[in-house]
Amino acid sequence: MLPLLHSKKLILYIFKLNVRSMSERKLHWERVYETKGDLEVSWYQEVPNESLELVADLKLEKTSAIIDIGGGNSNFTAELLKKGYSDLSILDISAKALERTKEKIGSIASVDFIATDILDFQPEKQFDLWHDRAAFHFLTEEKQIQQYVDLVSNSIVSGGFFILSTFSTSGPLKCSGLDISQYSKEKLESMFKNTFELVQSFETVHATPFDTEQNFIYTVFRRR
Ligand SMILES: C[S@@+](CC[C@H](N)C(=O)[O-])C[C@H]1O[C@@H](n2cnc3c(N)ncnc32)[C@H](O)[C@@H]1O
């Protein structure tokens, strides 16, 4: 057994390591959005058609509470606003990304902008739809992934929906220079099976703004 002094030092060291990796993650994304325009990042879509078509299929009320996780510089929420949805939130680790999206959307629209690491998010309400394109796959540690699974399970109303899009097993191994986790339909279904039933899934190729291709999987889950 470690002497008391040593175990205290060890706890402090682990705490510092955690804080450092958290802020490094944030710093990475702040730097990306400070230095790169929309057309200089691989994930950008002028119109996120796949996500919007999936939302349309769900036939939600226009007052449904919808959150875009890792929304970044996506036009997803702006497009939903145009369609008349009124209870919209965007969460991202990067305050700069949210600032840019706020400018694009304009100040008249009432969108809830939440600048936080998803792993620190403590929602004040449950959502009818939780949308995540290309944020979840940046979680690569088992513990973080389980934390996200628990969070999303507790944050969606019964009967509500979860649209999750990640790199597929034939997609890239990295994004923005960071390691990612790839997923198959079977893996996602099994990860979320305790609280969600799979409604549909498909794979698709995203053409990046610089004409390369990335394989994505889209899944739609329904909260039991
Ligand atoms: C590849 S981009 C995708 C952006 C957007 N969802 C889209 O489809 O265009 C990943 C986004 O997730 C955000 N992100 C990465 N890790 C995050 C975390 N731990 N918590 C919250 N947001 C995160 C990044 O800042 C970035 O905006």
How much of the chain exceeds pLDDT 90, in percent? Answer: 88
For ligand 1, the distance from its centroid to the CA atom of residue 120, given in whole angstroms, is 14
Among 23, 28, 45, 93, residue to substitute to test ligand 1 (most atoms within 8 Å of Cβ): 93
Ligand 1 and 98: CB distance under 6 A: no
- β-strand pairing of 213-223 with 156-167: antiparallel
| 186-211 pLDDT, tens digit each | 999 999 999 999 999 999 999 999 99
Q: What are phi and psi of 197, to 5 degrees?
A: -105, 140
> Structure tokens of 24?
């490094």
Residue pair 54/163 in contact by the 8 Å Cβ criterion:
yes
CATH superfamily of 4-223: Vaccinia Virus protein VP39 (3.40.50.150)
| Average pLDDT of the segment spanning 81-100 | 97
| 11-64 pLDDT, tens digit each | 555 545 554 555 899 999 999 999 999 999 999 999 999 999 999 999 999 999
Ligand 1 and 90: CB distance under 6 A: no
The model's confidence at residue 1, banded by pLDDT at 50, 70 and 90, is very low
Indicate which residue's Cα is closest to atom 9 of ligand 1. 74
For ligand 1, the distance from its centroid to the CA atom of residue 134, given in whole angstroms, is 6
| 149-165 pLDDT, tens digit each | 999 999 999 999 999 99
- The per-residue pLDDT for 166 is 98
For the cut 60, the answer to whether the pLDDT of residue 3 exceeds it is: no
The pTM of this model reads 0.92
Name the packing angle between helices 185-192 and 142-154 (round to 10°).
Answer: 60
The C-alpha atoms of residue 89 and residue 77 are separated, in whole angstroms, by 8
The C-alpha atoms of residue 217 and residue 52 are separated, in whole angstroms, by 15
- The per-residue pLDDT for 106 is 86
Ligand 1 and 138: CB distance under 6 A: yes
Q: How many CB atoms lie within 10 A of CB 168?
A: 23
> What is the 3-state composition of the chain as percent helix, strand, coil, each rounded to the nearest 5?
40, 30, 30
